[in-house]
């Protein structure tokens, strides 16, 4: 018999993620009594979180009434904060984007001016979607640095000067709802898993201005004791020519100082390429420029040496590459695969998949939305929603 929880929140989660589509399937999935499941489903329908719609296939007897999640029961704000730009979206409770806008920023301007711009953009997308701050159930924010997840405060972020210990949730007080803040790579990992989730072990590696890794264990993001798990950008690696490179964190030869986006631009300019941004280097590689290709492939090999150690230690099902440099595609993957498959133990690498994200531009916003939705629809919050609905 199944031993899955039969709380109202758990039942909602099963329907929301497609694991069950009827009361009978919920009974089979949870092992709970039919009357218990039916009573809680009725409460979820009364609270507007579930809806009945249509009939399923009959296996003998009356066809079951199908259940579906009411994704229009609320909305969330999703904020994907980068070093040079920010994307803000409003989504329904299935993380479907209703309106979105992006704008250039400089993260080094500090939290107050940057979050004031985020607030302006949030009001803009809400107005575009015909919604108000009162409609917002939760806010999800991804930031390019380590975060203490329980408080939403960045912790000594190397590329976010002035942000240490700033209470990011306080900037969203007008919405009077829960605010969830995490490292951008953890947020992207959620986005890569999608609404239905996954039961796999996955590494989601962002290669942009910096380098970070979202660790997914049996479908859930693993944050570690203090929320800093996956900060692979500051693992020490040797440089190709033996020189020492100072990282923005103050240490020597960190992975992102050797193979990150800024390093790629630095090396391209040193090689005489007429480029002013990392994007231009990536574009030249995509068009087959020989020097750019070799630089990207070399960065891939360096990243691959670190990932090979992670593969031996963690043995993931797959690695997904995302971020601005990952748009280089084949040459970056070629370098990464070369190092990973050469340095990983055969058993760990035998069935390993290494791919580029299908939607690198969207995964940050979708992940921020999913983080907010999961927080808003946890067991305690659903129980409170049912209590409020019964009191009306």
**The CATH number of the domain where 130 resides is what?**
3.30.420.40
**Count: domains in the chain:** 3
Cβ atoms of 146 and 154 closer than 8 Å: yes
**What share of the chain has pLDDT > 90, as a percent?**
71
Cβ atoms of 163 and 157 closer than 8 Å: yes
Mean pLDDT, to the nearest integer, of 213-228? 90
Can you tell me the distance from the alpha carbon of 171 to that of 88, in angstroms, rounded to the nearest whole number?
A: 14
Mean pLDDT, to the nearest integer, of 323-345? 90
Residue 4 has pLDDT above 60, yes or no: no
Q: What is the DSSP letter of 197?
A: -
Structural domain includes residue 181:
yes
Query: Is the domain of 211 the same as that of 356?
Result: yes
Query: Is the domain of 64 the same as that of 89?
Result: no
Query: Is the domain of 243 the same as that of 354?
Result: yes
- The band of 102, judged by pLDDT with boundaries at 50, 70 and 90, is very high
Cβ atoms of 209 and 277 closer than 8 Å: no
Residue whose entry in the numeric block shows the structure tokens 């992207």: 188
Mean pLDDT, to the nearest integer, of 247-255? 91
Can you tell me the distance from the alpha carbon of 292 to that of 305, in angstroms, rounded to the nearest whole number?
A: 20
Query: Is the domain of 251 the same as that of 352?
Result: yes
- The band of 194, judged by pLDDT with boundaries at 50, 70 and 90, is confident
**The CATH number of the domain where 63 resides is what?**
1.10.10.10
Domain hosting residue 110, numbered range: 75-193+362-377
pLDDT of 11-34, one tens digit each? Answer: 999 999 888 999 989 999 998 999
State which of 48, 70, 92 marks the end of a domain: 70
Query: Is the domain of 186 the same as that of 268?
Result: no
**The pLDDT of residue 2:** 38
Task: Report pTM.
Answer: 0.87
Structural domain includes residue 343:
yes
pLDDT of 137-172, one tens digit each? Answer: 999 999 999 999 999 999 999 889 999 999 999 999
Partners of residue 77 on adjacent β-strands: 90, 139
- The band of 53, judged by pLDDT with boundaries at 50, 70 and 90, is confident
Query: Is the domain of 249 the same as that of 291?
Result: yes
Query: Is the domain of 356 the same as that of 368?
Result: no
- Between 41-55, 92-106, 249-263, 361-375, the lowest mean confidence (pLDDT) is in 41-55
Residue 249 has pLDDT above 90, yes or no: no
Residue whose entry in the numeric block shows the structure tokens 């899955």: 4
Residue 1 has pLDDT above 60, yes or no: no
- The band of 226, judged by pLDDT with boundaries at 50, 70 and 90, is confident
Query: Is the domain of 185 the same as that of 300?
Result: no
Write the DSSP string, 116-185: HHHHHHHHHHHHHTT--GGGEEEEEEEESS-EETTTTEE-S-TTSTT-TT--GGGGGGGG-S-EEEEEHH
Write out the two tokens for 45.
């329908």
Radius of gyration of the chain (CA): 23
Residue 240 has pLDDT above 80, yes or no: no
Structural domain includes residue 388:
no
2 phi, psi to nearest 5 deg: -65, 150
CA distances for 158 relative to 83, 111, 180, 237, 247, angstroms: 11, 14, 21, 18, 9
Query: Is the domain of 127 the same as that of 207?
Result: no
């Amino acid at each position: 018999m199944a031993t899955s929880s039969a709380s109202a929140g758990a039942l909602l989660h099963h329907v929301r993620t497609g694991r069950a589509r009827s009361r009978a399937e919920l009974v089979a999935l949870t092992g709970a009594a039919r009357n218990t499941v039916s009573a809680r489903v009725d409460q979820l329908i009364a609270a507007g979180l579930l809806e009945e719609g249509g009939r399923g296939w009959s296996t003998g007897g009356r066809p079951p009434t199908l259940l579906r999640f009411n994704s229009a029961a609320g909305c969330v704000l999703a904020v994907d904060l980068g070093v040079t730009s920010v994307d803000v979206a409003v989504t329904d409770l299935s993380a479907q984007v209703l309106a979105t806008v992006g704008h250039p920023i400089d993260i080094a301007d500090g939290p107050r001016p940057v979050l004031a711009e985020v607030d302006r953009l949030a009001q803009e997308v809400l107005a575009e979607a015909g919604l108000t701050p009162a409609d917002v159930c939760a806010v999800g924010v991804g930031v390019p640095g380590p975060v203490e997840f329980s408080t939403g405060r960045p912790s000594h972020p190397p590329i976010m000067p002035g942000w240490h210990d700033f209470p990011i949730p306080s900037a969203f007080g007008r919405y009077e709802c829960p605010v969830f803040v995490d490292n951008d790579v953890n947020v992207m990992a959620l986005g890569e898993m999608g609404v239905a989730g996954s039961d796999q072990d996955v590494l989601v590696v962002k290669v942009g201005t910096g380098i970070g890794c979202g660790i997914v264990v049996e479908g859930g993001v693993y944050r570690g004791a203090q929320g800093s798990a996956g900060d692979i950008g500051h693992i020490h690696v040797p440089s190709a020519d033996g020189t020492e490179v100072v990282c923005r964190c103050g240490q020597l030869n960190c992975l992102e100082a050797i193979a990150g986006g800024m390093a790629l631009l630095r090396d391209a300019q040193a090689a005489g390429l007429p480029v002013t941004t990392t994007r231009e280097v990536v574009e030249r590689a995509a068009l087959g420029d020989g020097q750019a290709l070799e630089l990207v492939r070399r960065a891939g090999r360096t990243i691959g040496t670190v990932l090979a150690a992670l593969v031996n230690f963690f043995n993931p099902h797959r690695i997904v590459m995302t971020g601005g440099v990952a748009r280089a595609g084949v040459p970056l993957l070629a370098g990464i695969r070369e190092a990973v498959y050469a340095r990983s133990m055969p058993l760990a690498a035998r069935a390993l998949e290494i791919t580029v994200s299908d939607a690198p531009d969207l995964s940050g916003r979708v992940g921020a939305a999913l983080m907010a939705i999961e927080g808003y629809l946890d067991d305690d919050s659903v129980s409170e929603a049912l209590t409020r609905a019964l009191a009306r």
